[in-house]
Structure 1
């Protein structure tokens, strides 16, 4: 549509909205302008006789790409929108409707940028380039500078408002502050206006918390993190720094494995400047980020341990990207705590019999759990060999070998020999084999470790838990201490006991609605008994946990002899050590471990079974078959796929007379 230019080069670009340069002020009366937006340097000094009696909005900005026009756009847009949406009573209005003039010095860049912002806000979804194209149809001179266009893109991305939590906006503000700090040496930030993580609200919105590893002080949250772009990698660094990184990598793994970093999250965290950084960088040896220093060190505001550094001129992330300015905290000095609800439990299957409040089956199931728990505790305490093993464990010695045990009775009425088959015993793991409890068990472990140590272990199920599947709590704690260098936790045994004590009630709470048994359990146990096999359960779980799992899943009746339900608590070492299986074999009266068939779902459990000398069957309820195959004699996808008679026929037959 051809544009119509009014006196002074003023153009009406939308109903009631005009744009022009400083000369347009000569024609306010003639154009019936009621409201004026002045976008110039020091607009308060702009005077003109025709401005009298007209409402004004002043935007003090220079026409440079580095100028922060973005911070002024919401107020300017609101002024224009309010004027055009209300009936006018200002001076010079001939039609009763308001008329708004946006002007800068030349009517090219600054005024056009504000007009584009208004058009975008008036028409949600209208992008900056499209809005500028529409403006140019009426006013071809419109040409905001490149910096203003980038800011309009950001304004559009934030929904034509300023979103303080929007990460690109945070980066923009920091770049603005860094430019001013570098140019003038004066603080570009108001310390009192900076964010300060608060304990009272910490974690309420699910944001990750970052605490000082030494004193547990809250120093940042996920909302304070400034994400960085992925850099080009090692090629971005000088040869000296590349050489230093390579030597550090070689020293860490001894083999020179791939040492390229994938992002700053591997070793450090870049955050916005925080209020505690303004007081000597958090400690007596630190530098205030607003004290005039271009760079300095950051210390914990509570215990004064060094947490990182800052540099207003910027620094490179581990991927080679420049971060300007940089407020960097070292992850080795922090604990990341994720307070989000246990999303890992989303996939837990719960049985209908315990699903409803007031279910008639619930009291019976609860009674079954309580009764079985008491039987297991009695079996563990009264068993002479378990007592000896426990005493040896207390002294830190190896448990004595289970020699001299009687053959014959398998403890459940089955015979240990004479059935003409290679396998006389079936030993079943509990979690992940009998019941679908691995998710809840892993989440309980995570919450217990967090409660005791303040450290939040990685918890993406099942990937992050694969190394500890099947382990008892002691070995889990040992694993996490070694993996994350958490010697500050102290004695492994003491921490494991605290975590174990904390884990039990957490697990009970997470599975209060019940636990589902895997299909095929009852049929498998029945087939084993028909084949004359002794049947037992061997688990890394505590007696109370095993009782809860079997009772609430409705499986307790399948294992009537509590003596043959064995917890790793009764032996010195948990899986992957063979102790729990050796103890189970002893209770079954088995003197030849090769006659026992063990069903496991975890690598550590399979290792324990093989170390005990048993035939190991892996079931793919927790891990894929390719991860289990190397540790198992045979692999089945589901428990219902396991046919004991077929396994008996396929296995090598015992020698005659055996």
Structure 2
């Protein structure tokens, strides 16, 4: 009979062996079960390829007789009982038999899908066309819904389509209910190793990690788009047509409307979710509770029923975005106000005493600012109890009242304030009324009624007990105009600045580049909420960062940090260039500060933890390069140890020709950088671009909120500092 009909190809849609010998024909068998829950879509691509190969794709001269668009249109328009006859197959042309057991549901569904793909018909038109030729054709409701989805996917199988993904998950649940087990291949796999993580990042996948131990739990490829899929016909009347098995009452719901993620089952879940209907999900590494699962389903906070359900609570996972927020390299962080103990934001300068000979006419009396009671000297600065433990553990002094005992770990040593002869520079306070002899003749810090050529305003550092170590409370007063404008009156001969976070607004991009580089090289994703998670490494070079994270997270498998760091450094440079492709912005006030220094005859230099190419790019892109001689730039790449070791600042001093560190003024935004500068014996200004004054204060001599507050020509350290410096350095 097949030969009489001119059949050359046979497409069998049966889930059992075909009894007839079909060896004389070209054949394909699709093991599709006639069930509303069966995933028919997964077989359509193979069926379409087989039929196109036999009958030809769409297009003039390619389609088999009777399947051209014009012929199909005639069939659709013809009245019942007057259909045009099926044309005979031309010699040498193929004719295909598509069959199932009864020719009612499965085989018509396959033909309808082929017509939709090859002839551009809608699901309704293709179904109507098939029924014209075979009135008994009636795809079951599940197949009909899948054909609509097939049309929504542009007549192709898109595994990432939200509705298809949800449908595939339900089909997986159906298999579990039928058999009680699942093949291991049914569970999703996670990216492995540096190559896998790099591929996931390149594909734009979001990563979800255990908040406690950072173990990778899922990617965005595993997250089920519940809200996007639930309104589709595939899921309409789901409870009425629910597969046989456990009733909806066996399911659950998300408690309290908590934010959550529904995911496909992942390989690490297999030992937990097979064999039982419902239970809890725990991290495979640290056993922290992450969520729950239920093969009978869980209702999401919006009331949609997800079956089966594998749920991760958002509060238990960290979300790792594949890209930083748009223009992260150029977004200015919100201003962080200093603590209430911080002095008024007058320009950071002290009285540069002007002799009577340098001021031929009396200077007008300046109004005084409110004085602040000097704090008593302490062995270690006290920090607010509310300050994060990550900051307190950096060695920033002793935590204030209320700090947890478990956070009182080993701390870094306090900065040495000893002078060249071993004398403690934070010694007894000098008289507030009589200043000590310094670079010029000393003057009195009188009140509002003071007048005469030596009268100055504000609070002098000479009057602060232990002023060299009190940070933000060491406020400075505005110098007399003659002292501020005269380059010969400047105490500091050199201004040395950190680059990232001080001169240019690049810290966020630099941190993100570091995260990506470590992820690319090691496969481990460091905590990356900016700026909180980076406080511990602000100011460090890549070598120190790698060593820090290796020790903190116990990553001994990384090997020697000295071997890993060069690869991380190379990767970081590439990511940093990508992140800052739109340009790098100089902080407001950076150019003005550099020009003020140069106008006063002060030599400018840079001491940065960045690589030389990165420093040069930052300065060039921000427009600061013409103000900084390239020979005066020092990189941590050229010294034995990065910040908080003093090496890079000592190298910057040598490059800039500074022989006395107490004549060098440093501006830093990071605790590690301030520690490095103080270890080198320099005078430090901390700027709150990244951290609050309460964090910088214990290591900075002065804390400012803006670069315009740094009066480099008028800033004068306390008398103890000036007296400790060699006379030849003036």
The equivalences for 1:504-523 within 5 A come to: 510-511=572-573, 518=586
Structure 2: stretches of 5+ with no match in the other structure? 57-61, 65-87, 231-247, 332-379, 382-393, 398-410, 418-424, 431-435, 441-476, 541-548, 555-559, 578-582, 620-624, 633-655, 714-730
Which string of whole-angstrom CA distances, capped at 9 and with x for unpartnered residues, describes residues 225-250 of structure 1? 44433799xxxx99xx99964xxxxx
Contact 2:197/2:523 (8 A) holds in 1 = no
Match of 2:692 among 576, 592, 604: 604
Task: Evaluate the alpha carbon distance shift between residue 213 and residue 552 of structure 1 in structure 2; reply closer, same or farther with a 3 A threshold.
Answer: closer
8 Å CA contact 1:536, 1:565 repeated in 2? no
Provide the secondary structure at the position in 2 that maps to 1:465.
Answer: coil
| TM alignment of 1:58-69, pairs within 5 A | 58-59=29-30, 61=32, 63-69=34-40
Q: Which of 412, 419, 427 is the aligned partner of 2:481?
A: 419
Q: Name 1:526's counterpart in structure 2.
A: 595
Q: TM-score, normalised by structure 2?
A: 0.48
- Aligned twin of 1:431: 500
Query: Highest relative contact order (Cα 8 Å, sep 6+), 1 or 2?
Result: 2
1: CA distance between counterparts of 2:595 and 2:496?
13
TM-score by length of 1: 0.52
* Deviation at residue 175 of structure 1 after TM alignment: 0.7
In 1, Cα distance between the equivalents of 2:596 and 2:96? 88
Give how far 1:508 is off: 7.9
* Number of equivalent positions: 475
The answer on whether the counterparts of 1:402 and 1:583 sit within 8 Å (CA) in structure 2 is no
Aligned to 2:439: 408
Q: Is the 8 A contact 1:444 1:506 kept in 2?
A: no
If each structure's helix is expressed as a fraction of its own residues, which one has the higher value?
A: 1
Match of 1:312 in 2: 295
For residues 110 and 551 of structure 1, what CA distance do their matches in structure 2 show? Answer: 64
Question: Could you report, residue by residue, the CA deviation over 1:386-415 in whole angstroms, capped at 9, with x for unpaired residues?
Answer: xx9999977655876857787437xxxxx9
Q: Indicate the RMSD between aligned Cα atoms, in angstroms.
A: 6.3
Shift of 1:113: 1.9
Q: Name the residue aligned to 1:566.
A: 666
Q: Give runs of aligned pairs for residues 179-198 of structure 1, distance below 5 A.
A: 179-182=174-177, 184-187=178-181, 189-191=182-184, 194-197=187-190
In the alignment, what sits opposite 2:308? Answer: 325
Query: What's the CA shift for 1:31?
Result: 4.5
| Structure with the greater alpha carbon radius of gyration | 2
What secondary structure does 1:44 align onto?
A: coil
Q: Secondary structure at the match of 1:205?
A: helix
1:533 and 1:100 mapped to 2: Cα distance?
92
Counterpart CA distance in 2 for 1:502 and 1:35 is: 60
d(CA) in 1 for partners of 2:104, 2:228? 36
Give the Cα–Cα distance (whole angstroms) in 2 for the partners of residues 218 and 391 of structure 1.
Answer: 32
Deviation at 1:147, TM superposition (A): 1.7
Give, in whole Å, the separation in 2 of the partners of 1:521 and 1:173: 57
SS in structure 2 at match of 1:171: helix
Q: Which residue does 1:149 correspond to in 2?
A: 144
| Stretches of structure 1 lacking an aligned partner (at least 5 in a row) | 1-26, 246-259, 282-286, 350-387, 410-414, 459-463, 477-485, 492-497, 589-595, 620-632, 634-641, 646-658
Whether the aligned pair in 2 keeps the contact of 1:606 and 1:618 (CA below 8 Å) is: no
- 1:120 and 2:116 matched: yes
Is the contact between residue 689 and residue 705 of structure 2 (CA under 8 Å) also seen in structure 1? no
What's the CA shift for 1:118?
0.8
Instruction: Indicate how the Cα distance of structure 1 residues 102 and 406 shifts in structure 2: closer, same or farther if over 3 A, else same.
Output: farther
8 Å Cα contact 1:84-1:99 kept in structure 2: yes
Q: Tell me which residue corresponds to 1:205.
A: 199
Hey, what's the Cα distance between the residues in 2 that align with 1:305 and 1:550?
A: 46
Q: Structure 1 582/144 Cα, relative in aligned 2: closer, same or farther at 3 Å?
A: same
- State how far apart, in whole Å, the 1-side matches of 2:603 and 2:585 are: 17
- Structure 2 contact 116–126 (Cα < 8 Å) conserved: yes
1:35 to 9, 12, 18: 9
Which residue matches 1:71? Answer: 42
Q: Following the alignment from structure 1 to structure 2, what is the Cα–Cα distance between the partners of residues 127 and 406?
A: 94
| Greater displacement, 508-517 / 192-201 | 508-517
- 2:629 alignment partner, SS class: helix
Instruction: Please say if residues 667 and 687 of structure 2, whose CA atoms lie closer than 8 Å, have aligned partners that are also in contact.
Output: no
Contact 1:313 1:324 in 2 (8 A): yes
Closer/same/farther in 2, CA of residues 437 and 166 from structure 1, 3 Å limit? same
**Residues 466/71 of structure 1: CA separation in 2 closer, same or farther (3 Å cut):** same
**Counterpart in 2 of 1:82?**
53
Alignment of 1:18-417 (within 5 A): 31-39=5-13, 44=18, 57-59=28-30, 61=32, 63-85=34-56, 95-103=91-99, 109-123=105-119, 127-129=122-124, 131-132=126-127, 143-156=138-151, 162=157, 168-182=163-177, 184-187=178-181, 189-191=182-184, 194-197=187-190, 199=192, 202-207=196-201, 222-229=220-227, 245=256, 261-264=258-261, 270-274=263-267, 277-278=269-270, 281=271, 287=272, 289=274, 291=275, 293-296=276-279, 309-317=292-300, 321-328=304-311, 396=413, 407-408=438-439, 417=479
Q: Match of 2:512, SS?
A: helix
1:73–1:211: structure 2 CA closer, same or farther, 3 Å change rule?
same
Kept in 1, the 8 Å contact 2:254–2:299? The answer is no
Partner of 1:617 in structure 2?
706
- CA deviation vs aligned residue, 1:195-225 (integer Å, no higher than 9, x gap): 5447455324125666778888766555444
Q: CA deviation at 1:328?
A: 4.1
Alpha carbons 1:538, 1:567 under 8 Å: kept: no
CA pair 568-500 structure 1, distance change in 2 beyond 3 A = farther
**Given the superposition, is the C-alpha separation of residues 167 and 204 from structure 1 closer, same or farther in structure 2, using an over 3 Å criterion?**
farther
